[in-house]
Amino acid sequence: MTTSQTAVLSGVQEPRYRPSARKRSAHVDDCAFLANAYGLTPDPWQTTVLECWLATEKDGRMRAGRCGLAVPRQNGKNAILEMIELYFLVVLHRKILHTAHEVKTARKAFLRLAGFFENDRQWPELAALVKEIRRTNGQEAVVLHNGGSIEFIARSRGSGRGYTVDVLVCDEAQELTDEQLEALLPTISSAPSGDPQQIYTGTPPGPTSPGTVFCRMREAGIARKDPRLSWVEWSVAEVGDIYDRHRVAATNPALGIRLQMSVIDDELGQMTPEGYARERLGWWSDHGSTPPAIPKPLWDACKVDKAPTGGKPSFGVKFSVDGERASLAAAVAHGESVHVEVIAQMATAAPMVGDVPLVDWLVKAGRTCSSLVIDGKAGAGALEAELLKRGFPGSKAGRITVDGAITAHAQTLDAIQSARLTHVGQPALTTAVLAAAKRSIGTAGGWGWQPIGDGDVLDLEAATLALYGAKRSKPSGRVPRRIY
The CATH number of the domain holding residue 134 is: 3.40.50.300
> Distance (Å, rounded) from C-alpha 84 to C-alpha 53?
9
Eight-class DSSP state of 56: B
Residue 480, pLDDT score = 33
Q: What is the pLDDT of residue 286?
A: 67
Return d(Cα 364, Cα 341) in angstroms, integer.
19
User: Which of helix, strand or coil describes residue 371?
Assistant: strand
H or E segment and range at residue 345: strand 337-347
Same domain, 247 and 335: no
The verdict on 175 and 257 lying in the same domain is: yes
Q: What are phi and psi of 37, to 5 degrees?
A: -65, -25
pLDDT for the residue 138? 83
User: Under 8 Å CB-to-CB from 124, ≥6 apart: which residues?
Assistant: none
Cβ atoms < 10 Å from Cβ of 330? 22
Dist. CA 366–CA 384, nearest whole Å? 12
Same domain, 283 and 418: no
Number of other CB atoms surrounding residue 118 within 10 Å: 14
Query: Are residues 441 and 332 located together in one domain of the fold?
Result: yes
Report the chain's terminal Cα–Cα distance, integer Å: 65
User: The domain containing residue 445 runs over which residues?
Assistant: 296-483
> Are both 173 and 191 inside the same structural domain?
yes
Please, what is the Cα angle at 96 between 93 and 99, to 5 degrees?
Answer: 165
Write down the pTM of the prediction: 0.65
* Burial class of 446 by CB neighbour count within 10 A (0 to 12, 13 to 18, 19+): middle
One-character DSSP codes across 391-449:
T--TTTEEEPPHHHHHHHHHHHHHHHHTT-EEB---HHHHHHHHTEEEEEETTTTEEEE
CATH number of residue 447's parent domain: 3.30.420.240
Give dist(CA 351, CA 291) in Å, integer: 33
Q: Is 155 exposed, middle or buried (0-12, 13-18, 19+ CB in 10 A)?
A: buried
> Do 136 and 107 share a structural domain?
yes
Q: How high is the pLDDT of residue 291?
A: 67
The answer for 339, left when phi > 0, alpha when psi is -120 to 50, beta otherwise, is: beta
Residue where one domain finishes, among candidates 245, 263, 288: 288
Residue 35 sits in the same domain as residue 69 = yes
Measured CA to CA, the distance from residue 344 to residue 357 in angstroms comes to 12
C-alpha span between 5 and 402 (Å, rounded): 58
Separation of alpha carbons 351 and 360, rounded Å: 10
Q: Are 227 and 356 found together in one domain?
A: no
Task: From 230, 262, 288, give the residue that closes a domain.
Answer: 288
Identify which of 81, 75, 76 has the alpha carbon closest to the alpha carbon of residue 116: 81
Alpha helices in 152-260 (DSSP H): 178-184, 212-223, 245-251
Residue 290 is predicted with a pLDDT of 61
Write the DSSP string, 86-135: HHHHHTS--EEEEEESSHHHHHHHHHHHHHHHH-TTT-HHHHTTEEEEE-
**Would you write out the chain's pLDDT as a tens digit for each of its 484 residues?**
344 444 568 999 999 999 987 788 999 999 999 999 999 999 999 999 999 999 999 999 999 999 999 999 999 999 999 999 999 999 999 999 999 999 999 999 999 999 999 999 999 999 999 999 999 988 899 999 999 999 999 998 777 778 999 999 999 999 998 889 988 999 999 999 999 999 999 999 987 787 889 998 999 999 888 899 999 999 999 999 999 999 999 999 999 999 999 999 999 989 999 999 999 999 998 644 566 889 999 999 999 999 998 889 999 999 998 889 999 999 999 989 999 999 999 999 999 999 999 999 999 998 889 999 999 988 899 999 999 999 999 889 999 999 999 999 999 999 999 999 999 999 999 999 999 988 888 767 789 998 887 789 999 999 999 999 999 874 443 433 322 2
Do residue 317 and residue 279 come from a single domain? Answer: no
Please state, in angstroms and rounded to a whole number, the distance separating the CA atoms of residues 128 and 403: 52
What one-character-per-residue DSSP string does 271-284 give? S-HHHHHHHHH-PP
**Boundary of a domain, candidates 253, 270, 288:** 288
Residues 79 and 178 in one domain: yes
Whether residue 119 is found in the same domain as residue 46? yes
How many domains does the chain contain in total?
2
Q: In terms of domains, do 275 and 321 share one? A: no
Q: How far apart are CA 389 and CA 382, in angstroms?
A: 11
Give the number of other CB atoms < 10 A from CB of residue 368: 9
